[in-house]
Structure 1
């Protein structure tokens, strides 16, 4: 059952989402060769708690850490460890936080130093497919419209769209209805309703869409061991249109990147200096 949120609840969710966004922005400057994912995980937990929130993933379904850290061929749900990142790696950092009883859930795939052109294209297309999907999250549309748009965009560029892992509704629980696949058919699935909040998160592979799981019971990898990228935003349906609750602004600020990609989805009242 879809649980629409009031305007007041959406603002509380925005606060949780922005804590996650700020956490990723803090980590952006720390992602470099020689750094371990376990070190980044400890930085994130401290940052989230310092901002009056709780890590959203820590202990959920018995997950042992604050961040899901998934390098290279790992798609999602990688467990932080002591292996240093290397030049040319990519690393998906998926982070959650809970404040005022509501969750934020947000992800970005970072290059580690200089990466090869094909992997750079994978990151670019995956992030672009996220916004392609967000545009379809609007009054009158259905779940399948978002999935169809993401799938068509990614496959047009020769990449594989993961089927078994999906986005989801978000609220007082990390995972609410509806499931939000990154593939589908137009006009199919649950209809979007005013006030609903979802996490849209394309997981796109350089090669096959097929995946496998490590014996740790968490880590998901591509079946052909080619790289995978993952980007995620929290989005509310407000006045029939998609409105971002999360942002990559803090990441771009840390990395010196100029971008207007979020402008069409951003509430005019947001002040990133708050």
Structure 2
């Protein structure tokens, strides 16, 4: 269904609050279940545009006291000139009054704001290890489980730059998929999209992290990439089962990759130069 809002119309805090209130009401009268309510509320809190919010509540029945929908933006071009003239007139009047009144005004002392030495403030640093290291993979999985309550994904890619991207089904809605970006926390990267209900999934709880972590550390040597580093690790599933793929490259774009099963056993190896 096409949205009645332009795709780039930004959502306000009040719009997110109103959408959350509608989701609460829908949960209260049984239109959505607890898992749906939790997932959709997270999406509402992170929504960037009015269209993102609309897709979450477009099929809900609304209570009689529901807050009004946000109005689509109007063309303000024809209104700006009179408003600008009025503002200019007010500014001119205030300026004239200030000039006349300043001759009789008594001098006042303006208090000086206390200066803060920001260099002396110790920054708070939250450790987020590189997700393509053994430690980083464990931290990511812990945060993923804490966020979603399980370790199920459609696909996942961890990047050397410290971020990740993933796709997973909405709770109890296997025909809907949400994409997330990870940069220490999980943020929906777009609104839910259609998903095949029989899409294979990867249960990350089946990973032998110790064995896979050791393979990751030795991958540049195993793949024969001079001065290589692991660039990204992908986790995908198809009809043949789940696969972990480790990719190595260097500054000259010389590269190789290998594929493992969740236990860490090698499936195929594609070294550099072969």
Tell me the TM-score normalised to structure 2 length.
0.23
Q: Which has the larger radius of gyration?
A: 2
Bigger RCO (CA 8 Å, 6+ sep): 1
